[in-house]
Structure formats: C-alpha cells, structure tokens
Chain A
Amino acid sequence: MALLEVNNLCISFGGLRAVDDFNLRIEKGELYGLIGPNGAGKTTVFNLLTGVYKPNEGIIRLDGEDITRKSTTEINHEGIARTFQNIRLFKNMSVLDNVKVGLTERFKYSTIEGIFHLGKYKKVEKEMDEEALRLLSVFGLEEEKDTLASNLPYGKQRKLEIARAMATSPKLLLLDEPAAGMNPNETQELMETIALVRKKFNMTILLIEHDMKLVSGICEKLTVLNFGRVLCQGETREVLTHPDVVKAYLGE
C-alpha cells in the first residue's frame, strides 16, 4: 500500500482549473519531486494535500485513510507536515519554542497543570526541551536555541521550518521550494540536510523545487505539472529526458 495516494484531484478558482485530474502515488520512504513551470499549480497541490483548499473532486488517502475533507490541523495530526514557499515561522518566538510548538500534540499535560506549573508540567517540559534540542541539533541549530526566529539568517530559517515540521512526527513531509532564495553553497548544504532527515528519520518526502540540480540530485521520482495537469510522471532520469518535459521547460 502506498503511503500517499491521490486520485483525480481537481480544483477550480472562478472557472480557472488550477489543478485538474491530478494523480500521485508515493511509497513509504521515497523522496519524490513535484516540478513544473511557474503557475503550474504545484503549491495549489500542497494546499490541497494539507487541507488549506478543499478539492472540487478527487480523493486523498494517507496510509489508506481518506483525509480529503479534513482540516489542516487534523491532517497534520494524521501525519502530514509541511513548510512554506514564503517562510512562515513564529517570528516573535525563540528557535526552541518554534520547535516546541510542533511538539504540542505529542507531549501533553492539562491546561490547569500548565497554568499552575503543577503535576506533570516540569517532567513533560523537560522531555519537550530534550526532544526539541535533539531535533535542533540534527539541523545544526542548537546554538541558536534562544535566538528569536526572525533574527536567524535566511538559510537557518528554512532549516528551522523543517525542524518544526519534523517535531510533529509526520509520516510525510512536504517541502515547498526549500532552496528558494539560496546560494549554491546553501543549496548544497540543504540537500545534505534533506538527505540526512530522510535517513535519520526514515522519512517520506515530497518536495516542490525549481532548482533542477537539487531535484536530479536527490529525488528518485518526479511528477511534472503544467497548466494544472500532470505532464509526465516516473523515475527522475526518464522524466527529465522526456520530450514533453524538455519542451515545457526549454520551449520548442
């Protein structure tokens, strides 16, 4: 059984078919790329997968369970975490607290215990700190744990967003243009981080990317979107040499 199975997904905005008959199968442990020209509907697919938009048609299954009509919050609880194209951190909170927000649903004590710092509060907070620091160290952010998120350099903000997503312990991680705005060095470092996350957490990852080098370097499979429709799907090498894809990217 595939981890993520999407069938016949469609959504229109005021008559414009932004995504049309979109199908996708991602197996457990795969690193899958979603590429396509600007405006092809890649982010819209992410927004459909995470419940930000509700599809007009189609079905989304995660681990066999139908999550099509669920809310963004519920979908995260089901096991999909994501990052955003334009970074969305909790800017006025520390790096550590950003990750701890991601841990909210995994480490629990009651509101009363929280307000009066009683009962499980101390113990659970300590566990949360340890888990958050462990995650931060994977991304090389443990030194900056008390820094405000908005004061981090750009590349580290991207990493923190991934760390926060990982804190929710997802089955599937969606990365929306993780290398956007990065220089070649930073991109290289990011590729290593993604590879590390995948290995360390045995994570299934779907990423949107423009950077062809990054895509061909780490993705095993690709789906190419064009004008909201799937242009081509399959193994990375085959897809990148497919004549339709070459045409869409390079023109006639």
Chain B
Amino acid sequence: MSSFLTYLISGLSLGSIYAIIALGYTMVYGIAKMLNFAHGDFIMVGCYIIFSVSGALSGNSFIGIIAAIILCTLLGITTEFVAYRPLRGAASPLAVLITAIGVSYFLENVALLIFGADIKSFSSVVKWEGLSFADGQLRIQGVTIVTIAISLIVLVGLQLFIKKTKQGQAMLAVAEDKGAAALMGINVNRTIMITFAIGSALAAIAGALLCSAYPSLSPYTGAMPGIKAFVAAVLGGIGSIPGAMIGGLVLGIVEILSKTYISSQLSDAIVFGILVIVLLVRPTGILGKVIQEKV
C-alpha cells in the first residue's frame, strides 16, 4: 500500500511538471493559435542556464533559477518577434509550425555546440530532504513536495492573472478574436508577446523542477517532456488552464503507474493511448470548448 502511495505521489510530481509546461503550451496555443514545437526546448535551455550559473557560483542554484527565468523569458520574446511574428496571418498555419520546428532544431544544436552531446548530471535545486511518514515507510522527497506546491501556485496565479487583471482580460479577448480585440484597442502583438514571456518563464521553472527530479541533462532533455506536456494540454482541452493542469496530472500519474505495474517499455504507448481514448469520447479534450462551424 505504501509503495502504491509512493508511486502515486511520484506520479503527481511528474504530472505537476507536465502541468507547468502544459500551462505555457495551452496559453500560447490559445492566444497565438500556434503549436509551438520549440516549447520543450525552452525547458532544456532553462536547465543549461541553471547548470552553468550555479556551476559558476559554486552551487548557488537560487541565482541560477532567477537567471534561467529571466533569460528564458527574453528568449521567448525574441523567438516570437524574430521567427513567429512575421508569419502571423500567413496563408497556411503550417508555415509557423515548420518555423517552430526550425527553432527547436536551432536551440538543440546551439546547446549541442556549447555543451556537447554528453549527459550532464544536474544537481537538484531543492536541497530539502523531504518528509517521512509511518516510521519511514512512506518518504516524500523535498523536490516532490516543492514541485506539487509550485504547480498549484502557478495554477492559482495564472487563473487570478487572467480573471482579475486587465492584461489577462486582453489575453482572453485576443484568444477569442484577434481582429475584434484589435478594434477594441487591445495591442494584439504586445498581448501575444506577454503570453510567450509567461510561457517561457514557466518552461524555465518546469526545467528546474524536471532536472531536479530526473537529474540528467542533454540537448534533447526537453523534447519528450515538451511533447508529453502538449499531449497533456490537448487532453485537458487546448486553451483551458484548469484543463492543462488536469491533463498534466493524469498523464504523470498514468505514466508512473503504468511504468511500475504494467511495463516500462509500453508506458509511453499507454500514455498516448489514453489521449486517443479521451479524444474519442470528447473530441476537444476534457475541458475543451466544442465549437461548431456555423453553416
């Protein structure tokens, strides 16, 4: 029983990381209407920044995290400005998708050039040992607790930001209809830029947590979690913030439990299978809005 609880909690923890990434994904998708395939690579960039900065400051990971958040935010804004903005309004939505893939290749290869292909071992940013229950039979690592806590803080923070602030309302308006939002005096470009900034900052945070829990870092570290988080965002219903959270948690728990109890080889197949089944029942995800085309 206690081992099941341990696995469940580690699933929750992984799910929380997916959720933080998925929140960024879902916001960018909801507002800019683009699949940002490079989103996962921002996680990797964040990790390398923490790795380098804390390495240089002999293990001070706090400054590393701050640096990662700031630099990832700047990188997100720059990417949006240089690569994505020129393609807004392009004849095919595939144009910006392919560009995002180009950005993903670019980031991976820059990392490859600077840090090499070998796997770096990342030291956890959470130094706390964690809690122990039932005479040490159930131990919860510090990083697990911190991860779950941060994901909840991010979720609540984002919800408040979108519901209560003017900028958040502007985001909703742009998500609904760019043209109408522009006519209402909303600066669409600025709103999309802020969305990218938030998404990238979240990716940096997720990176810090991901590499603390799974301490191996390579130029491709972000790719698979990025895709999984995207699956989580779709599972929850693209554009829905609570949906991204639910999707992330479901995915993390399913992944860990199926790895443990079914087959570690088939766990990815099971995770993707869940997505297929959910979309069959609800074609726009768990909390997604059904939009019917007007005839």
Interface set of A (CB-CB < 8 Å, partner B):
43, 47, 52, 84
Contact = CB atoms under 8 A, between A and B. Distances in A.
A206 to B, nearest CB: 16
Interface in B279-295: 295
A55 to B, nearest CB: 15
Nearest to B294: A86
Contacts, number: 4
Contacts of B295: 43, 47, 52, 84
The 4 closest A-B pairs by CB, nearest first: A52-B295, A47-B295, A84-B295, A43-B295
Contacts of A52: 295
B39 to A, nearest CB: 31
Interface residues of B, number: 1
A13 B295 CA distance: 15
A43 B295 CA distance: 8
A52 B295 CA distance: 8
Interface in B246-295: 295
4 contacts: A43-B295, A47-B295, A52-B295, A84-B295
Contacts of A47: 295
A84 B295 CA distance: 8
Contacts of A84: 295
A170 B295 CA distance: 20
Nearest to A176: B295
Nearest to A72: B295
A234 B295 CA distance: 28
A47 B292 CA distance: 14
Nearest to A50: B295
B93 to A, nearest CB: 15
A47 B295 CA distance: 8
Interface in B149-188: none
Nearest to B293: A52
A62 B295 CA distance: 22
Nearest to A85: B295
B117 to A, nearest CB: 44
A84 B293 CA distance: 13
